[in-house]
Amino acid sequence: MRSPEMLEEIAQLRRMRFASLLEGSTLMILIGIAVPLKYFEGLSVTTSIVGPIHGMAFIFYFWMLIQTVSDGKWALNDVIRMIVAALIPFGTFVNERALARRQALLLETTQ
């Protein structure tokens, strides 16, 4: 039987995984599409649009990180991994996989 606290932790992990994927995806779009269009095609409007979107995704990621680790159930090395993941290009994709494993373990232990 799953307790309400366990269900909330699983839901928070799902939200954090979404934030990780969103941040990583917007960075891919920025680096892979918008920046080349700006420098090779002279379309600076692309970075003017995608840059702030990625900035908001980055802020959302850190907001979700604060909410996720605020329950105190996270080891310091996990918190550091999630912070560093946002600072290394595409690190949030690696972080998402680690969060998925943690979510799967929670689901297994509660069945």
Per residue in 74-94, pLDDT (tens digit) is 999 999 999 999 999 889 999
pLDDT category of residue 108 using cuts at 50, 70 and 90:
confident
Per cent of the chain over pLDDT 70 is 98
Question: Phi-psi bin for 88: left (phi > 0), alpha (psi -120 to 50), beta?
Answer: beta
Q: At what angle are helices 76-87 and 91-109 packed, to 10 degrees?
A: 150
Question: When comparing pLDDT for 1 and 31, which is higher?
Answer: 31
pLDDT score for 33:
96
d(CA 26, CA 60): 12
pLDDT category of residue 1 using cuts at 50, 70 and 90:
low
Q: pLDDT tens digits for 6-27?
A: 889 999 999 999 999 999 999 9
